Amino acid sequence: MPEQQTITLTVNGRVHTKDVATRTSLADFLRDQLHLTGTHLGCEHGVCGACTVTVDGRSARACLMLAVQADGREVVTIEGLKDPAGVWHPVQKAFFENFAIQCGFCTPGFFATAIELLGQNPDPTEAEIREYLSGNICRCSGYQAIVEAVRAAAAAMQDHQRG
Amino acid sequence: MSGTRFVNERMVGSSVLPEEAIPLVEGEARFLNDISFAGMFHVAFLRSQHAHARLARIDTSRARALPGVVTVLTGADLLGKVEPFTSMPNRFSGGQSTQHWLAVEKVRFCGEAICTVVAESRALAEDAIELIEVDYDPLPVVTNARDGERDGSPLVHDTCPNNYLIRRDYQSGDVDAAFANAHLVVKRRFQLGRKQALCMEGRGCVAAWRDGSFKLSMWMSHQLPYVVRHYLAKHLGLSETDIRVVAPQTGGGFGQKASIYPEEFVCAFLALQLRRPVKWVEDRLENMVASTHAREHDIEVALALDAEGHILALQSDIWTDVGAYSTYLWSAGMEPLQTGGLMPGPYQVKALRYTTRGVATNKTPVGPYRAVGRPSASASLELLLDQAAAELGIDPVEIRRRNIIPQSAMPFRNGNNLVHDHVGYMPCLDMALAKSGYPVLRKEQQAMLAKGKLRGIGVACFAELTGLGTSTAVGPGTLLQPGRDAVTLRLETSGKLTIAAALPSQGQRIATAMRQVAADELGIRLDDIACLTNDTGMAPYGFGTFASRTAVFGSGAVIQAAGELRRRILAVAAHIMQTPSEELMLADSVVETVDRTRSLPLRQLAEHSFFSAKDIPSEINQGFEVTAFYDPKHGSFAAGAHVVVVDVDEETGHVEIVRYVAAEDVGRIINPAVVEGQIIGGIAQGVGEALYEQLIYDENGQPRTVTLADYLVPSALEVPHIELHHANTPSGALGGFKGCGEGSIIGALAGISCAVADALRQRGGDIFHFPATPERVLRGLGVALDDAA
Amino acid sequence: MKAPVFDYRAPRSLAEATAILRDAGPDGRVLAGGQSLMPMMNMRIVAPGVLVDINRIEELARLDADGGTLRVGALVRHVDILHSPLVKAGWPLMSEATAYVAHPAIRNRGTTCGSVAHNDPAAEHPSVLLTLGGSVVIASAEGRREVKAEDFLQGLMTTALEPGEMIVELRYPPVRPGTGWAFVEFSRRLGDFALGGAAALLTLRGGVCEEARLTLVGMGEGPVRVTAAEALLAGQRIDEGTAPELFEAAVQLARRAVDPTDDVHAGAGYRRHLAGVMARRALARALLRSGRTHHA
Domains of chain A in sequence order:
4-80 (3.10.20.30), 90-162 (1.10.150.120)
The whole-number pLDDT of residue B473 equals: 67
Indicate whether B9 pLDDT > 70: no
Is it the case that residue B380 has pLDDT exceeding 80?
A: yes
Determine contact, residues A101/A60, Cβ cutoff 8 Å: no
Region A31-46: mean pLDDT is: 98
Task: Give a yes or no: residue B285 inside a domain.
Answer: yes
Nearest CA to B252 out of B198, B289, B295 is that of B198
Determine the pLDDT at residue B478: 65
Q: Kindly tell me if the per-residue pLDDT of C296 is higher than 70.
A: no
Give the least confident one: A86-100, B48-62, B325-339, C64-78: B325-339
Q: Which of C191, C193, C272 sits opposite B789 (nearest CB)?
A: C272
Per-residue confidence (pLDDT) for residue C137, from 0 to 100: 98
Yes or no: say if B190 and B382 are a contact pair by the CB < 8 Å rule.
Answer: no
Tabulate helix, strand, coil % of chain A (nearest 5). Answer: 40, 20, 40
Where in chain C are the domains?
7-52, 61-172, 180-291
What pLDDT, on the 0 to 100 scale, is given for residue B321?
98
Q: Above 60 in pLDDT, residue B1?
A: no
The contacts of residue B602 (CB under 8 Å, 6+ apart) are B491, B495, B524, B528, B569, B586, B589, B590, B591
Chain A interface includes C191 (CB < 8 A) = yes
d(CA B724, CA B735): 23
**pLDDT(B734) > 80:** yes
Checking if the pLDDT of C131 tops 90, the result is yes
Query: Are B115 and B214 in the same domain?
Result: yes
Domain with residue B604: its CATH number is 3.30.365.10
Q: Does B24 lie at the interface with A, CB-CB under 8 angstroms?
A: yes
Question: Are the beta carbons of B283 and A47 separated by less than 8 Å?
Answer: no
Mean pLDDT is lowest, of B496-500, B524-528, C120-124, for C120-124
- Residue B182 counted as domain residue: no
pLDDT > 70? residue B737? yes
- Asked if A45 has any chain B CB less than 8 Å from its own CB, the reply is yes
User: Which of these three, B234, B260, B290, is where a domain ends?
Assistant: B290
Q: B111: phi > 0 → left, psi -120 to 50 → alpha, else beta; which?
A: left
Task: Please give the average per-residue pLDDT across A135-155, as a whole number.
Answer: 98
**Number of Cα atoms under 13 Å in the Cβ half of residue C153:** 31
Q: Does A22 touch chain B (CB under 8 A)?
A: no
| Strand B293-305, strand B113-119: pairing | unpaired
The answer to the question of residue B502 being in a domain is: no
User: Looking at the predicted structure, is the pLDDT value of residue B134 above 80?
Assistant: yes
Q: What superfamily would CATH give domain C180-291?
A: CO dehydrogenase flavoprotein, C-terminal domain (3.30.390.50)
Residue to test with chain C: of A43, A51, A59, most C Cβ within 10 A: A59
Q: Is A138 on the interface with C (CB under 8 A)?
A: no
Cβ-defined contact of C270 to B774 (cutoff 8 Å): yes
Range of the domain at B399: 293-472+633-780
Q: Tell me the average pLDDT across B627-632.
A: 95
The shortest C-alpha distance from B775 to chain C (Å) reads 6
Q: Tell me, what CATH number does B122's domain have?
A: 3.90.1170.50
Phi, psi of B513 (to 5 degrees): -65, -45
Q: What is the pLDDT of residue C293?
A: 47
The answer to whether residue B10 sits within a structural domain is: no
Q: Are strands C28-31 and C50-53 parallel, antiparallel or unpaired?
A: parallel
C273 and B654 within 8 Å at the Cβ level: the answer is: no
Q: Are C264 and B704 in contact (CB < 8 Å)?
A: yes
The model's pLDDT over A46-101, given as tens digits with 9 standing for 90+, comes to 999 999 999 999 999 999 999 999 999 999 999 999 999 999 999 999 999 999 99
Give the best residue of B129, B718, B773 to mutate against chain C (max C CB count within 10 A): B773
B460 and B311 fall within a common domain: yes
Residue B412 within any structural domain of the chain: yes
Q: Which uninterrupted H or E stretch holds C270?
A: helix C268-288
| Residue C10 contacts A, CB cutoff 8 Å | yes
| pLDDT band, very low/low/confident/very high, at B593 (cuts 50, 70, 90) | very high
Q: Name chain C contacts of A131, Cβ cutoff 8 Å.
A: 190
Interface test with C, best of B710, B781, B787 (most C CBs within 10 A): B787
The pLDDT of residue A115 is above 80:
yes
Segment C83-99 mean pLDDT: 97
- CB–CB of C5 and A2 under 8 A? yes
Going by C-alpha positions, the residue among B221, B358, B228 that lies closest to residue B291 is B221
Partner-chain contact B789 C256, CB within 8 Å: yes
The phi and psi torsions of B418 (rounded to 5 degrees) equal -90, 145
Residue C75: is its pLDDT beyond 80? yes
Co-location of B447 and B592 in the same domain? no
Q: Is the pLDDT of residue B521 over 50?
A: yes
Residue C295 clears pLDDT 50, i.e. is over it: no
CB-CB under 8 Å, B713 with A145: no
**CB pair distance less than 8 Å for B27 and A38:** yes
Q: Indicate if B338 and B426 belong to the same structural domain.
A: yes
Is the distance from CB of B602 to CB of B569 less than 8 angstroms?
yes
Neighbours of C56 (CB within 10 A): 16
Instruction: Give pLDDT, residue B633.
Output: 87
pLDDT confidence of residue B5: 38
Confidence of residue A160 (pLDDT cuts 50, 70, 90): confident
Going by C-alpha positions, the residue among B256, B709, B254, B721 that lies closest to residue A139 is B254
Last residue of a domain, one of B585, B603, B630: B630
Amino acid B291: pLDDT = 98
What is the C-alpha separation between B207 and B100, in angstroms, rounded? 19
Mean of all residue pLDDT scores within chain B = 95
Taking contacts as CB-CB distances below 8 angstroms, the residues of chain B near C272 are: 785, 787, 789
Check if the beta carbon of residue B462 is closer than 8 Å to that of residue B385. Answer: no
For residues B94 and B234, membership in a common domain is answered with yes
Q: What confidence score (pLDDT) does residue B479 get?
A: 65
| Averaged pLDDT for residues C13-22 | 98
pLDDT tens digit string along B235-272?
Answer: 999 999 999 999 999 999 999 999 999 999 999 999 99
Cβ-based neighbours of B29, under 8 Å, separated by 6 or more: A38, A104, B23, B249
CA-nearest residue of chain C to B651?
C277
Are B605 and B694 contained in the same domain? Answer: no
Architecture of the structural domain at C61-172? 2-Layer Sandwich (3.30)
CB spacing of B710 vs C3 below 8 angstroms = no
pLDDT higher than threshold 90 for residue B162: yes
Q: Would an 8 Å CB–CB cutoff place C100 in contact with chain B?
A: no
* B783, pLDDT greater than 60: yes
Nearest CB to C104 within list A22, A66, A132:
A132
CATH of domain C7-52: 3.30.43.10
Three-class SS state of B124 = helix
Band of pLDDT at residue B476, cut at 50, 70 and 90: low
A3 CB burial (10 A radius; 0-12, 13-18, 19+): middle
Give the DSSP letter of residue C173: P
Residue B2 pLDDT > 50, yes or no? no
Within a domain: B249: yes
Per-residue confidence (pLDDT) for residue B337, from 0 to 100: 93
Residues B220 and B328 occupy one common structural domain = no
Domain count, chain B: 3
Name the DSSP class of B162: G
At residue B644, does pLDDT exceed 90?
A: yes
Number of A:B CB contacts under 8 A?
Answer: 166
Looking at the fold, whether B127 and B205 belong to one and the same domain comes out as yes
Peptide linkage before B411 cis (omega within 30 of 0): yes
What local confidence, expressed as pLDDT, does residue A3 receive? 82
**Between residues B478 and A62, the one the model is more confident about:** A62
A40 reaches B (C-beta below 8 A): yes
Mean pLDDT for B122-149 is: 98
Q: Say if residue B517 is in the same domain as residue B620.
A: yes
Does residue B519 sit in the same domain as residue B603? Answer: yes
Chain A hits for C11, Cβ within 8 Å: none
Q: What is the pLDDT of residue B477?
A: 60
Amino acid identity of C199?
A: A
**Amino acid present at B2:** S
pLDDT at position B468? 87
Query: How does the average pLDDT of chain A come out, rounded?
Result: 96
Interchain contact, C8 vs A25, CB within 8 Å: no
What is the rounded (10 degree) CA torsion for B739, B744, B746, B748? 180
Same domain for B451 and B307, yes or no, is yes
**B251 and B351 fall within a common domain:** no
